[in-house]
Amino acid sequence: ATQEETLGFQTEVKQLLHLMIHSLYSNREIFLRELISNAADACDKLRYEALENDALYGQDPELRIEIEHDADAGTVTVRDTGIGMSRDEVIQNLGTIAKSGTAEFLKQLSGEKQKDAKLIGQFGVGFYSGFIVADEMVVRTRRADNEQGVEWRSKGEGEFTIADIERPERGTEIVLHLKEDAKEFADDFRLKNLVRKYSDHIDVPVRMPKVEKARDEEGNEIEGSETVSWETVNEATALWVRPKAEISDDEYKAFYQHIAHDFSDPLTWSHNKVEGKLEYTSLLYVPERAPFDLYQRDGVRGLKLYVQRVFIMDDAEAFLPLYLRFVKGVLDSKDLPLNVSRELLQKSPQVDSMKSALTKRALDMLKKLAKDKEAYQTFWNTFGSVLKEGPAEDYANRDKIAELLRFSTTHTDSSVQDQSLADYVERMKAGQQKIYYIVADSFNAARHSPHLEIFRKKGIEVVLLHDRIDEWLMSHLTEFDGKSLADVAKGDLDLDDMADEAEKQAQEETAKAKEDLVKRVKEALGEDVQEVRVTHRLTDSPACVVLPEHEMGFQMRRLMEAAGQ
């Protein structure tokens, strides 16, 4: 080997390696999924680059992945005929973690094995997971448009060595030297099962050697007559292309784990082929757990985009609105050009109509999920506050979104947000025109607000809002099912329709009797208030502050102040 140099891993890689080896032990078989997934990505990339430059295929037009093992040597090899890597790419890809947010991610790790294992799986540590089972990894690779081969070696401790090598074949070969306690993976049966379990849906054939010996006339094997033939072990068609009826739940789940880098099963999914003016196939998933960057609005989101089965890009965010950023999946379009770029996607009217169709699909999928109360609650607890961004972002679908919202209310008096507006409407009192709500900083502040006294007395339900986004939500959600939504801390309450005659008369008398008091309070408060009124909304507290109907709420004011406005 020439031009050999030894380099140190980036600090984050070292941290990650350490954590991974210690926390993913019980999931260690995933290394194979990760390496096959990278090999398949590399084939996708070659296919894509070859659209412009057919010569990249060279003498070997066949894209494939090969898996071999050697039980005596204790090795497993994963090889692909994909794009390969140049020396610089090797250093960059296998020495650092290029993904943004890594530092934040590492901060979230708790030191608790189980929790961290889940987080790490989701982060998609990919390549480095080889070190869970190997005490040395050797990568040999040549980029399809490059003459020079490269070898990378590491024991997964602090450093790696890199050198130039001869390598006639393009693509990448990864040799894992298995640890003493991981030798079980150097086994034909074990490997085959893992390939089927994790990689059935991959578009590229995954092959394993089948050794056969010729037999003599009596049917005995002839020594030294071994021939090796390659057998395709996986299904090798893209999952979403297959007819729905032929795909099992387990296959859908495995595919989700592949695209979302998640160990958990998805909560639900929706697979659709659309034919007509626009032709495309979509497969959308709702995850069970939130990614660590859910609240970073520039975090990774969106669908994996394919055009006519050719992989184009990850995280194509143009196809779903921001408030559905938790949805994962694949979109395969027949109509977009193969050389489509992110910029082009933003300007395309076809993308716009796909976006609105996919948005509807996603909302319908959630509506279906809502029929399963327990599953929907899991969804809501994780992603509810993201969905609450919906009415502001997507005016056209606000009714659909409103049906999907869940709240705390005085009906349950619990901080669990599990009541829909439809539930509320069903329980409305005779004569009640509006849906009442209160916004506060916390559930307890909402629940104990003096504004609720009159409502509790009259037995009228009030929605208790206590998420940071709630006031923003309510400023865009003014109606549900023909009923307007009213903030109990603002303007007139209009409870009069529900008061009986005697009550009304009593109220008028009180108002008269207290005229003097009102005058004195008004003088005392002077310009600090617009108006002082006798109120019937309190039953126990002596006084409360009320905002005019169209005034910004307290929460919003605080938000604006915090933002320096």
* 82 binds ligand ADP, rule: CB under 6 A: yes
| Whole-number Å distance between alpha carbons of 563 and 565 | 6
Q: Given the complex with Mg ion, which of 38 and 102 has the nearer CB atom?
A: 38
* 127 binds ligand ADP, rule: CB under 6 A: yes
* 82 binds Mg ion, rule: CB under 5 A: no
- The burial class, CB within 10 Å (0-12 / 13-18 / 19+), for 121 is buried
* 199 binds Mg ion, rule: CB under 5 A: no
Q: Given the complex with ligand ADP, which of 329 and 553 has the nearer CB atom?
A: 329
Least distance from ligand ADP to the Cβ atom of residue 390, Å: 29
* 38 binds ligand ADP, rule: CB under 6 A: yes
* 292 binds ligand ADP, rule: CB under 6 A: no
| Whole-number Å distance between alpha carbons of 203 and 242 | 11
| Whole-number Å distance between alpha carbons of 24 and 117 | 5
Q: State which H helix or E strand residue 520 sits in.
A: helix 515-525
Name the segment binding Mg ion (CB under 5 A); options: 35-43, 44-52, 240-248, 422-430.
Answer: 35-43
Q: Of these, 74, 121, 126, 384, which contacts ligand ADP (CB under 6 A)?
A: 126
Name the CA dihedral angle for 213, 216, 218, 221, rounded to a multiple of 10 degrees.
Answer: -20
* 38 binds Mg ion, rule: CB under 5 A: yes
Of residues 87-106, which lie at the interface with ligand ADP (CB under 6 A)?
Answer: 93-94
Relative orientation angle of helices 30-49 and 249-260, to the nearest 10 degrees: 70
| Whole-number Å distance between alpha carbons of 176 and 181 | 13
* 124 binds ligand ADP, rule: CB under 6 A: yes
Instruction: Choose the contact partner of 82 out of ligand ADP, Mg ion, none; CB within 5 to 8 A by kind.
Output: ligand ADP
Q: Given the complex with ligand ADP, which of 156 and 321 has the nearer CB atom?
A: 156
- Residue type (1 letter), 369: L
Q: Given the complex with Mg ion, which of 70 and 314 has the nearer CB atom?
A: 314
Instruction: Choose the contact partner of 321 out of ligand ADP, Mg ion, none; CB within 5 to 8 A by kind.
Output: none
| Whole-number Å distance between alpha carbons of 130 and 137 | 7
Residue whose CB is nearest to Mg ion in the complex, by number: 126
User: 236 CB contacts (<8 Å, ≥6 apart)?
Assistant: 202, 203, 204, 205, 206
Q: How does 133-160 read in b/e, with b if 16+ C-beta sit within 10 Å?
A: bbebbbbbbbbbebeebbbbbbebeeeb
Least distance from ligand ADP to the Cβ atom of residue 90, Å: 8
* 172 binds Mg ion, rule: CB under 5 A: no
Name the segment binding Mg ion (CB under 5 A); options: 106-114, 122-130, 268-276, 377-385.
Answer: 122-130
Q: Are 370 and 364 in contact (CB under 8 A)?
A: no
Q: Given the complex with ligand ADP, which of 152 and 480 has the nearer CB atom?
A: 152
| Whole-number Å distance between alpha carbons of 66 and 77 | 8
Name the segment binding ligand ADP (CB under 6 A); options: 31-39, 230-238, 430-438, 526-534.
Answer: 31-39
What does 385-432 look like in DSSP terms, one character per residue?
HHHTTHHHH-GGGHHHHHHH--BEETTTT-SS--B-HHHHHHTPPTT-
Least distance from Mg ion to the Cβ atom of residue 35, Å: 8
CA 361 to the chain's CA centroid = 16
In 334-385, beta strands by DSSP E: none
Name the segment binding ligand ADP (CB under 6 A); options: 4-12, 81-89, 150-158, 510-518.
Answer: 81-89
- The burial class, CB within 10 Å (0-12 / 13-18 / 19+), for 412 is middle
Max CA-CA distance within the chain? 120
Radius of gyration of the chain (CA): 31
The tokens describing 360, both together, are 């509807």
Least distance from ligand ADP to the Cβ atom of residue 208, Å: 17
Instruction: Choose the contact partner of 39 out of Mg ion, ligand ADP, none; CB within 5 to 8 A by kind.
Output: ligand ADP
| Whole-number Å distance between alpha carbons of 260 and 70 | 32
* 121 binds Mg ion, rule: CB under 5 A: no
* 126 binds Mg ion, rule: CB under 5 A: yes
Least distance from Mg ion to the Cβ atom of residue 34, Å: 6
Q: Of these, 85, 318, 473, 495, which contacts ligand ADP (CB under 6 A)?
A: 85
Residue 68: strand pairing partners:
77
* 66 binds ligand ADP, rule: CB under 6 A: no
- Total chain residues near ligand ADP (CB under 6 A): 16
* 257 binds ligand ADP, rule: CB under 6 A: no
* 75 binds ligand ADP, rule: CB under 6 A: no
Q: Are strands 206-212 and 65-70 parallel, antiparallel or unpaired?
A: parallel
User: 542 CB contacts (<8 Å, ≥6 apart)?
Assistant: none
Least distance from Mg ion to the Cβ atom of residue 38, Å: 4
Least distance from ligand ADP to the Cβ atom of residue 121, Å: 12
The tokens describing 68, both together, are 């071999």
Name the segment binding ligand ADP (CB under 6 A); options: 13-21, 121-129, 269-277, 528-536.
Answer: 121-129
* 80 binds ligand ADP, rule: CB under 6 A: yes
Least distance from ligand ADP to the Cβ atom of residue 315, Å: 11
Least distance from Mg ion to the Cβ atom of residue 55, Å: 27
DSSP single-letter state for residue 199: H
Q: Of these, 36, 39, 351, 363, which contacts ligand ADP (CB under 6 A)?
A: 39
| Whole-number Å distance between alpha carbons of 433 and 412 | 21
| Contacts to ligand ADP by CB under 6 A | 34, 38-39, 41-42, 80, 82-85, 93-94, 124, 126-127, 172
